[in-house]
Amino acid sequence: MISVLGLGFVGLTTGLGFAKKGFRTYGFDISEERLSSLKNFNVPFHEPYLPEVLKETHNKTFFLDTPFEEAIRNSEAVFLCVGTPEKEDGSADLKYLLAAIEQVLDVDTPKFQVLVTKSTVPPSTVSNEVIPFVKEKLKSSKQRKVGFASNPEFLREGFCWEDFINPDRIVIGVEDDHSREVLDKIYKPFNAPVHYVNYNTSEFIKYLSNTMLSTMISYSNEMSMVAGAIGSIDIKKSFRILHEDKRWFGSPASMKSYVYPGCGYGGYCLPKDTSALVKISEKNGFTPSMLVANINTNRVIKSHLVDNLDGKIGSDEPIGILGLSFKPDSDDVRLTPAKDIIELLIKKGFTNIYAYDPISNNEFKKHYPALSLKYLDSLEDIVDKCDHLFLLTAWSEFREKKDLLKSKSLYDYRYAL
């Protein structure tokens, strides 16, 4: 048995979705108006399929009239789907979430119950807000046994039903076996990959998704302002043609490979072209702040990675650089992140730096003769010499021979393995 608190886009879809899958599901909302409209089979917002599923499941597997206490007492999981609006200072307002949790905890039951946060909440909310809040509330309750889960929702308004019933992925942040078993049972009937992670990761994945989307939108808008400032540019056509790039469609190298953290972009094109566009736009009176921030992040990421090593490696210990070119399958070393990172390592006082690239050793030596490092001819050699390895180019050789790297302290700055 499942209870769902908050019957907006997310909660109503979730409740009906579980009901459709055959779970006995109880829906609650503090808005009487919303509830009475639902009881009359009127979905108070436009969302395809929900009215039909409501008619199909109401009073069969989906219940809106059950007393709150009875439903909570019998539920193995309570899905919290209330709003998390923005506060004046920009942070997320958790008052509806905590109030809903309080109502649930006011019902006493000996049954183990999982409080599942489905509302979108900033990473660390379950760990730092929800759990301490619940612990405090239950200080004097001997019998209440509560587990926790974070289960962000990725549905899109207008497609709520399809997205919920046929999800492309299900993310569950859970840190105890009992709660995991409950969630496992609930999501078993869904034919989708279920990813179990910890609470923070689960919450983060939702923001990773939304902020990437918002960044792409702002990026597009900023680019339209750059184009407008320069003038005589057909913006609509430009974007339409951008969309024809085969990388959007996944082949041969998909856009995904650009949406991955690493040690920054380099090479002949991206750095200089990003800078040049900033300059011409500024000359025309518009400062593209996202592009300026983009260049800054590309610089900061390298020192950030090197600063993170403080105290972890002795300055005379051998360090091995795996990969020198700016990307795999190329020997182009112009503006390669490896150059900046090696420079930063030398500046930090590391004196014993080795490098191996499947094809770019000579190019690198030619371009950067002043850098003091020793070049090796094979992966085996560098693994032999160095206990600390920095993977800076995602060559397939490193992936294929990753067993060689197992016993080493490996800093995979391309998330390649």
Ligand X SMILES: NC(=O)c1ccc[n+]([C@@H]2O[C@H](COP(=O)([O-])OP(=O)(O)OC[C@H]3O[C@@H](n4cnc5c(N)ncnc54)[C@H](O)[C@@H]3O)[C@@H](O)[C@H]2O)c1
Residues near ligand X (CB under 6 A) are: 5-11, 28-31, 34, 81-84, 96, 99-100, 103, 119-120, 153, 155, 157
User: Smallest distance, Å, CB 154 to ligand X?
Assistant: 6
Q: What's the half-sphere exposure (Cβ side, CA atoms, 13 Å) at 347? A: 10
User: Smallest distance, Å, CB 120 to ligand X?
Assistant: 4
Count CB-CB contacts under 10 A for residue 249. Answer: 10
Map residue 413 onto helix, strand or coil.
Answer: coil
8 A C-beta contact, residue 323 and residue 262: no
**CA dist., res. 410 & res. 416, Å (int):** 11
- Exposure b/e, 221-241, CB count within 10 A at least 16 = b: ebbeebbebeeeeeeeeeeee
In the beta sheet, which residues pair with residue 247?
A: none
- Exposure b/e, 313-328, CB count within 10 A at least 16 = b: beeeebbbbbbbbbbb
- Exposure b/e, 29-43, CB count within 10 A at least 16 = b: beeeebbeebeeeeb
Looking at residue 197, the DSSP 8-state letter turns out to be: E
Residue owning tokens 């983060």: 204
Sheet holding 194-197, edge to edge: 62-63, 25-28, 2-5, 77-80, 112-117, 145-150, 170-174, 194-197
Nearer to ligand X, 34 or 144 (CB): 34
Nearer to ligand X, 156 or 256 (CB): 156
| Residue tagged active-site, from 81, 160, 263, 269 | 269
User: Smallest distance, Å, CB 340 to ligand X?
Assistant: 39
User: Smallest distance, Å, CB 200 to ligand X?
Assistant: 17
Nearer to ligand X, 15 or 266 (CB): 15
Question: Which residue minimizes CB distance to ligand X?
Answer: 8
Map residue 189 onto helix, strand or coil.
Answer: coil
In the beta sheet, which residues pair with residue 170?
A: 194
User: Smallest distance, Å, CB 183 to ligand X?
Assistant: 17
Q: Which of 324, 299, 313 is nearest to 350 (CA)?
A: 313
User: Smallest distance, Å, CB 104 to ligand X?
Assistant: 9
For the question of residue 269 being annotated catalytic, the response is yes
User: Smallest distance, Å, CB 39 to ligand X?
Assistant: 14
Looking at residue 126, the DSSP 8-state letter turns out to be: I
Nearer to ligand X, 157 or 377 (CB): 157
Which positions are annotated as active-site residues? 269
